[in-house]
Amino acid sequence: MTSTLATFLSLAVDGIAYGMMLFLISVGLTITLGVMRVVNLTHSAFAMIGGYIALWFIQRAGVHFFLAVPLAVLATMAIGALLERTLYRWVYGTHGLGQLLMTIGLTFIITAIVKNLAGTQLQSLPLPPSLQGNFSVGPLTLSVYRAFLIGASAVVAFALWLGIERTAFGARLRAAVDNQRMARCVGINVPAVFSATFAIGCGLAAVGGALGSPMLPLEPYYGLKYLVIVMIVVAVGGLGSLRGSLYAALLLGLIDTLGRYYLPALGAFVIYLAVLAILLVRPRGLVAN
Amino acid sequence: MTTPSLNSSVARAFSRHRYNLLDLVLLGAAVATFFLADLYLALATAVLIMIVFALSLDIAQGYGGIETLGHAAFFGTGAYAAGLYAMHVSSEPISGLFVGMAAAAVVGLLSGLAVLRTAGLTQIMLTLVCATLLLELANVAKPLTMGDDGLTGYSVAPVLGLFQFDIEGRTAYWYALAVLVLVYAFCKFLVSSPLGLTAQGVRENPTRMALLGVPVRRRLLTLYAISAALGGAAGALSAQVNNIVGLDSLGFTMSANVLVMLALGGTGRLYGAFLGAIVFMLLADRAAALDPTNWLAALGVLLIVVVRFAPTGLSGCLARWTNKEGTQ
């Protein structure tokens, strides 16, 4: 009995860690999508870019893990801002199909570039000794990395909430979302706010891609392979809702982890069934705006 | 539809849904392909099948405005249904084709109930989820579908009891061409039928159509199921011609590729499906043989260029160009 419970609890912790990583990867998409209404299929490719840059810093430049990740985030933000200023500008006004195709095309290009530069093998960031190993809480053994992932995601979630609800930039952002024309009238530089928001979204993806790489290893097809799961988290959460993304990521992380353990024959089927069920009951997501 | 007076006959061909010279040219090209491209019949047959699939997507996306990134759900369903039918029930191909269509239509109706309640990104997501769900189902149901290995080991009887499928793919080519001609004729009829016309109205402005008394949801659901059935026909064709059904027939790449083909050719014009599928398949075949990695990058650049400079696709460009020529 106790061992069943211990198994369940450690699975639950794994599920929460997985969910938190999903949150990290997808929360940037929630923001750019909710704010700019761009169907950005390139989002998970930005996570991959962040992961690869962090890997490059660690392996080639010998930078420490805890410095490499922030550097990679900044670099990804710069790339994101550059692409927003050039490519994304074109498709803001167009219909959904145009955005879909442009961002698929961009994902293809990034995939090919990464394949040429980094090769096809699966890679992940080497964890520093401080993140390796396990510690025990009562009968449970927890991995330090997973605990760190949960903590880091919680910090990101809190910082985001703070940034959007409590800062002047957050107020401008909310104004630009609620009523673009009015925001322009009161002197808010809406395009600049959008560029900054897009860059932040890309930076968040990079955090997720880098920190999550032990779970979702880096590879050139990362951007396409994990696109579905990222989009699902955003859609289940409710477009543009931060709280929704957090709930959805945690819920889906738990369902997927528990489903794979208790119903191994059904494998990945369980999570998609759950998503379909949730979206049937609540087409606008868990937290509809 | 909104284009002012067109003088050139080619431009007219692009803007109306009546049979014209262009249809004859296409049919002529298809027949000529058989005699000229003897060695490439397998590729030509694959192109014909993808045209059928792109036509089915055009019905949902181009005419109904239903945003979908999961159209492979119907291709794959049709393929697996036709393959399983050939294996367990009967190897007769034409009934197999209808079984594939019926199975895909059922999937279209059921998923349409969920998909059509939403719009925009949620709609895209739901279509993607439905396709991924079916993919995982096919993966999990290994005893039935053979999972990763693909469904193989079935044979297909001669078409109409007369034409045996041959190793050179001659029968396969004529069979696929016949199905394409029928599907195309049906699409022509559909898009200028009351259902097709109201769908185009819904695409432009659903609220206004609802106010006019059009049962918007029901019309779209019908359109979606028809589109699904046509997609199923493409999948069934593929299953019968290739004698194998793989998981990739339900995959994201299949959905994305057909979307890319249609966008290249131009949505909302039936000729777009032809142009897009032909250009994409021929380019992909050549480029993938030379350098698959950089082909992916080239495809990406091509997509971005099309979105930026030719949002109406190749057929839109052609129509505009011939229109300009005609008025001079």
Q: Say if the ipTM goes beyond 0.90.
A: no
Q: Residue A102: which of B126, B128, B304 has the nearest Cβ?
A: B304
Start-to-end CA distance of chain A, whole Å, equals 43
Helix (H) or strand (E) holding A135, with range, is strand A134-137
* C-beta of residue A222 within 8 angstroms of C-beta of residue A84: no
Q: Inspect the interface and report whether the beta carbons of B304 and A87 lie closer than 8 Å.
A: yes
Among B107, B111, B122, B290, pick the best mutation site for testing chain A contact (most A Cβ within 10 A): B122
* C-beta of residue B80 within 8 angstroms of C-beta of residue B245: yes
pLDDT attached to residue A284: 80
Q: Is B207 exposed, middle or buried (0-12, 13-18, 19+ CB in 10 A)?
A: exposed
Smallest CA-to-CA distance from A73 within A167, A165, A210 is with A210
In a 13 Å sphere around the CA of B87, the CA atoms on its Cβ side amount to 18
Q: Which residues pair with residue A137 across a beta bridge?
A: A140
pLDDT attached to residue A214: 87
Statement: residue A135 has pLDDT above 90? no
Q: Inspect the interface and report whether the beta carbons of A228 and B128 lie closer than 8 Å.
A: yes
Tens digits of residue pLDDT in B261-271: 888 888 878 88
> CA–CA separation, A247 vs A237, rounded Å?
7
Q: Residue A33: which of B114, B121, B132 has the nearest Cβ?
A: B121
Question: What token pair was written down for A135?
Answer: 């510690």
* C-beta of residue B115 within 8 angstroms of C-beta of residue B60: no
Residue partners of B24: CB distance under 8 A and separation at least 6: none
Q: Inspect the interface and report whether the beta carbons of A266 and B69 lie closer than 8 Å.
A: no
Q: Which residues pair with residue A134 across a beta bridge?
A: A143
Chain A residue with Cα closest to B261:
A101
> CA–CA separation, A159 vs A138, rounded Å?
31
Tens digits of residue pLDDT in B143-172: 888 877 778 888 777 778 777 777 777 788
Which percentage of chain A shows pLDDT scores above 70? 99
Q: Inspect the interface and report whether the beta carbons of A102 and B307 lie closer than 8 Å.
A: yes
> CA–CA separation, B257 vs A46, rounded Å?
22
Residue partners of A202: CB distance under 8 A and separation at least 6: A28, A46, A50, A76, A77, A79, A80, A81
Confidence category of residue A289, pLDDT binned at 50, 70, 90:
low
pLDDT attached to residue B324: 63
* C-beta of residue B153 within 8 angstroms of C-beta of residue B83: no
- Give me the amino acid identity at A20: M
